[in-house]
């Protein structure tokens, strides 16, 4: 087995260049005016001969900066999270930071572990993509003293910058679309509300708009993500309760929209013909499923990019008050929400 030679150190470079470590450090830090031409040439040659690569983390720590950003994600399999992370990575590259991503898989112990791990790496700040994150996991974040920005969620009594969708505007747009297309029985379907502000804000806007349309019957149901029997029962009961009505389902997020589509197939209810369907979050497969599924697209990349910009402002000492930055969504109309006969 081939043995890799040990990595060269700054002491090795100094020895090969016949100088001290201080001179090598000055060279690496760009203080070339303090070195003679001959000494610079010897150090350059020693670095090349030894294939020396300075530790960026060690140099950063010496200056009090690591230029590392931590990202905590609850569920890396969620397409929303992947798109947001892409925006964060782009902003990191533009600003000269490196991203360390931790996927907690919604486990409290892992979340605690990653917070400690990121602290040990001396990250300068943390972005928390809280979509799908359980409340007990979120509560532990308040123990961190690092600059932090939350995506998608607010934590009660925790003053922290938040970046996400304008939920009230988006839900109003989606609800109005269904009403305008003649649906007169609407179901708002979400995972358990708990204290998740995104779900509650969307439900509140749904109810608020429908208060202006008393002819439209409406209700809401909460179903856990991976409970197909409960989901089938909820959808079938809604459809049967409103026999003779033009029924439609508004789904609060993309992960649940997939489960609803599967459930409707099991129930032999065709979206765009037997029942209307509209889901939050644009999904790659939405245009390919039957007549297509209408979605409320979030500007996920921009949300991630802006979250990182806001975090860097905090790292640089911004004294602005804690704030929420929201973006408008875009309704992508497809056959699932077309007027029913």
User: Do 213 and 281 share a domain, yes or no?
Assistant: yes
User: Do 205 and 290 share a domain, yes or no?
Assistant: yes
User: Do 152 and 183 share a domain, yes or no?
Assistant: no
Whether 157 maps to a domain, the answer reads yes
Element (H, E) at 63: helix 56-63
Split into its structural domains, the chain has a count of 3
Structure token pair of residue 339: 């007027």
Structure token pair of residue 28: 């690496």
Nearest Cα neighbor of 277 from 186, 168, 166, 176 is 186
Please, what's the b/e burial string for 7-33 (b: 16 or more CB within 10 A of its CB; e: otherwise)? ebebebbbebbebeeebbbbbeeeeee
Whether 61 maps to a domain, the answer reads no
User: Do 224 and 255 share a domain, yes or no?
Assistant: yes
Q: What dihedral angle (degrees, nearest 10) is formed by the CA atoms of 10, 15, 16, 19?
A: 90
User: Do 201 and 290 share a domain, yes or no?
Assistant: yes
Domain of residue 114, CATH code: 3.40.50.2300
What is each CA distance from 186 to 42, 67, 142, 193, 304, in whole angstroms?
A: 77, 49, 38, 18, 32
CA-to-CA distance for 291 and 316, rounded, in angstroms? 49
User: Do 185 and 252 share a domain, yes or no?
Assistant: yes
User: Do 243 and 314 share a domain, yes or no?
Assistant: no
SS3 (DSSP) at 138: helix
What is each CA distance from 224 to 201, 212, 280, 314, 317, in whole angstroms?
A: 19, 30, 16, 36, 41
Query: What are the pLDDT tens digits along the chain (341 aa)?
Result: 445 567 788 888 999 999 998 888 888 766 778 889 899 899 989 888 888 876 655 555 555 578 899 999 888 888 888 899 999 999 999 999 999 998 888 776 777 778 778 877 888 999 998 766 766 666 677 667 788 999 988 877 788 899 999 999 999 999 999 999 999 999 999 998 877 788 999 999 999 999 999 999 999 999 998 899 999 999 999 999 999 999 999 999 998 999 999 999 999 999 999 999 999 999 989 999 999 999 999 999 999 999 999 999 999 888 889 999 999 999 999 999 999 87
């Amino acid at each position: 087995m081939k043995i890799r030679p040990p990595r060269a150190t700054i002491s090795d470079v100094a020895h090969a260049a016949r100088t001290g470590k201080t001179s090598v450090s000055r060279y690496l830090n760009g203080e070339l005016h303090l070195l003679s031409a001959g000494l610079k040439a010897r150090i350059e040659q020693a670095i090349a001969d030894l294939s020396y690569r300075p530790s960026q983390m060690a140099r950063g720590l010496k200056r009090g900066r690591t230029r590392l950003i931590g990202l905590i994600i609850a569920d890396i399999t969620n397409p929303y999270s992947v798109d947001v992370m892409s925006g964060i990575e782009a902003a990191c590259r533009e600003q000269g930071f490196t991203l360390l991503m931790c996927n907690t898989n919604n486990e409290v112990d892992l979340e605690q572990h990653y917070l400690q791990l990121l602290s040990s790496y001396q990250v300068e700040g943390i972005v928390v993509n809280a979509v799908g994150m359980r409340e007990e996991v979120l509560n532990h974040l308040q123990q961190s003293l690092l600059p932090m920005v939350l995506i998608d969620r607010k934590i009660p009594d925790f003053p922290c910058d938040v970046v996400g969708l304008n939920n009230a505007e988006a839900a109003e747009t989606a609800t109005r679309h269904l009403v305008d297309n003649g649906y007169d029985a609407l179901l708002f379907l979400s995972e358990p509300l708990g204290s998740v502000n995104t779900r509650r804000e969307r439900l509140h806007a749904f109810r608020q708009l429908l208060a202006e349309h008393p002819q439209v019957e409406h209700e809401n149901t909460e179903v856990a993500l991976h409970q197909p029997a409960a989901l089938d029962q909820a959808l079938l009961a809604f459809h049967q309760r409103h026999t003779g009505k033009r029924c439609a389902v508004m789904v609060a997020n993309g992960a649940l929209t997939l489960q609803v589509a599967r459930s409707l197939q099991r129930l032999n209810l065709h979206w765009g013909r037997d029942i209307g369907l509209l889901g939050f979050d644009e999904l790659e497969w939405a245009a390919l499923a039957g007549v297509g599924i209408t979605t409320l697209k979030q500007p996920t990349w921009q949300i991630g990019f802006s979250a990182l910009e806001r975090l860097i402002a905090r790292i640089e000492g911004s004294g602005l008050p804690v704030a929420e930055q929201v973006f408008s969504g875009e309704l992508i109309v497809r056959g699932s929400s077309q007027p029913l006969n």
